[in-house]
């Protein structure tokens, strides 16, 4: 932790972390948390990356905070205490006794009532009032990256792992899939535009015994509400698929599942998560989230993209593409190519 953190904390009247036991969490940004010498529990984050890109992320966070603060009702998020644009530093009130949605899901403790609460929170986000002046510049979401599906930038290729190149090769040669992703990007221009999270995953939900928060607003912008809905659905579909034991194993004594066994276990896992997705969708509708005729279909497409995006993300963590990750991407492809037929399958009710 450098002096700029201490300077910001002192400027905000929060005291010093120098004498505190500091903790950091894994992630793409640097972060520190602890209790200051004046008794304030704080979480400090420094946005990393290209200066121009990190500045955009910083300003998106501040824009969200401003809109959330002036909304009709308080939005459930950690208290923002202040920041330093030049240093890309942000300070939040540290929450006590929190668990992330991903931790709860891994322990099978993420309940239907929590999922409904996630839906209501997302509906509140999509209903945040704003004016055109709040978003003066066009800021389209970078994903799905259809330009990269035509040709990867040289920098991405040079720094890529073998698994990354393999995954992109599979995607770029899949003309029907590329066509559907291009169509999905085009539909966003015609959809209602609302404030969206833009990077919704289960680990963005922070839950205590008494409260439910949504976190991490670096990709906040105007967009199609189906993007966030689909990301949530995709998270559960991805987890369901990953719980099917992989057919490839390094353990010579482990039994290899037959195709029929894989299908049966996949069906079991899907049955397990569908009530959570349905509860989320009910909470979203009960909370007044935008629900135009095509939203469920578009959300199913975005859920499909989420599974493919997880395939791409896995290439940064592994040297090869596992069979189970390929299977998840294959399900995503199926949902993208025929989303209307899969609306009910993924727990979003009947397509309009």
Distances, alpha carbon 7 to alpha carbons 79, 91, 118, 230, 291, in Å: 20, 12, 36, 41, 46
| Helix axes 225-242 and 323-337, enclosed angle (nearest 10) | 140
**How many Å apart are CA 47 and CA 216, to the nearest integer?**
11
Residues 100-132: pLDDT tens digits? 999 999 999 999 999 999 999 999 999 999 999
Q: Please write the tens of the pLDDT for every residue from 244-264.
A: 864 444 444 455 556 566 666
d(CA 140, CA 221): 8
Instruction: Quote the pLDDT of residue 25.
Output: 80
**Helices (H), ranges, the chain:** 3-11, 51-69, 101-106, 112-126, 146-150, 154-158, 162-172, 175-190, 225-242, 259-286, 295-314, 323-337, 339-342
What domains sit in the chain, N to C, each tagged with a CATH number? 3-93 (3.30.200.20), 99-342 (3.90.1200.10)
Q: What is the mean pLDDT of residues 81-86?
A: 97
Decide: helix, strand or coil at residue 351: coil
The helix (run of H) or strand (run of E) holding residue 131 is none
C-alpha distance from residue 173 to each of 33, 203, 261 (Å): 45, 32, 30
Closest CA to 335 of 293, 301, 295: 301
What is the share, in percent, of the chain residues with pLDDT greater than 70? 92
Q: Is the dihedral of CA 93, 99, 102, 105 positive or negative?
A: negative
Q: What is the pLDDT of residues 221-233, one digit of tens each?
A: 999 999 999 999 9
Per-residue tokens: 16: 């010093």
Mean pLDDT to the nearest integer, 26-33: 87
Are the beta carbons of 30 and 42 closer than 8 angstroms?
no
């Amino acid at each position: 932790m450098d002096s700029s953190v201490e300077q910001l904390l002192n400027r905000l009247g929060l005291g010093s972390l120098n004498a505190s036991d500091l903790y950091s969490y894994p992630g793409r940004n640097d972060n520190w948390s602890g209790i200051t010498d004046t008794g304030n529990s704080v979480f400090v984050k420094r946005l990393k990356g290209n200066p121009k890109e990190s500045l955009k992320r910083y300003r998106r966070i501040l824009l969200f905070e401003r809109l959330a603060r002036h909304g009709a009702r308080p939005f459930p998020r950690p208290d923002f205490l202040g920041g330093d644009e030049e240093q890309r530093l942000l300070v939040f009130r540290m929450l006590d006794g929190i668990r992330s949605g991903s931790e709860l899901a891994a322990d099978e403790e993420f309940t239907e009532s929590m999922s409904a609460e996630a839906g209501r929170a997302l509906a509140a986000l999509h209903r945040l009032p704003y004016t055109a002046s709040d978003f003066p510049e066009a800021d389209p979401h970078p994903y799905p990256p259809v330009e990269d599906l035509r040709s990867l930038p040289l920098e991405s290729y040079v720094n890529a792992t073998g698994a990354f190149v393999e995954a992109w090769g599979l995607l770029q040669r899949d003309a029907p899939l590329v066509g559907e992703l291009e169509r999905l990007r085009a539909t966003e221009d015609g959809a209602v535009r609302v404030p969206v999270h833009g990077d919704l995953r289960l680990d963005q939900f922070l839950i205590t015994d008494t409260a439910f928060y949504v976190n991490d607003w670096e990709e906040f912008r105007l967009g199609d509400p189906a993007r966030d809905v689909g990301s949530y659905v995709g998270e559960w579909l991805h987890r369901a698929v990953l719980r099917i034991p992989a057919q490839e194993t390094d353990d010579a004594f482990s039994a290899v599942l037959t195709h029929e066994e894989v299908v049966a276990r996949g069906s079991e896992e899907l049955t397990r998560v569908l009530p959570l997705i349905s509860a989320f969708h009910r909470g979203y509708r009960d909370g007044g989230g935008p629900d135009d005729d095509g939203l469920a279909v578009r959300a199913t497409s975005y859920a499909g993209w989420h599974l493919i995006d997880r395939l791409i993300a896995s290439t940064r963590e592994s040297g090869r593409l596992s069979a189970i990750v390929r299977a998840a991407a294959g399900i995503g492809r199926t949902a993208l190519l025929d989303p209307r037929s899969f609306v009910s399958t993924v727990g979003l009710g009947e397509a309009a």
